[in-house]
Amino acid sequence: MKKIVLAGFISLFSTLASAQVLVGGVNINEKDITYCQMIGSNRAGGLSTTRIWIDYGQPRFATNPFNQPTISGPDGVPIDFATVIAALNFMTRNGWELVSWQLASDKEGGEGRFVYLLKKRENQASQNQGK
Q: What is the pLDDT of residues 76-127, one digit of tens each?
A: 788 889 889 999 999 999 999 999 999 887 666 666 789 999 999 987 555 5
Among residues 64, 55, 8, 9, the alpha carbon closest in space to that of 35 is found at: 55
What does each C-alpha distance from 96 to 48, 109, 112, 117 come to in angstroms?
Answer: 27, 30, 23, 10
In the predicted structure, residue 12 carries a pLDDT above the cut 60: no
- Look at residue 3 and tell me whether its pLDDT is greater than 70: no
Q: Residue 71 pLDDT more than 60?
A: yes
Using alpha carbons, select from 22, 47, 48, 51 the residue that is nearest to residue 36.
22
Question: What 8-state DSSP symbol labels residue 83?
Answer: S
* pLDDT reported for residue 68: 60
pLDDT of residue 109: 62
State the pLDDT at residue 72.
86
**Given this model, what pLDDT does residue 11 score?**
39
Res. 16 pLDDT band, cuts 50 70 90? very low
The least confident of 4-18, 43-57, 77-91 is: 4-18
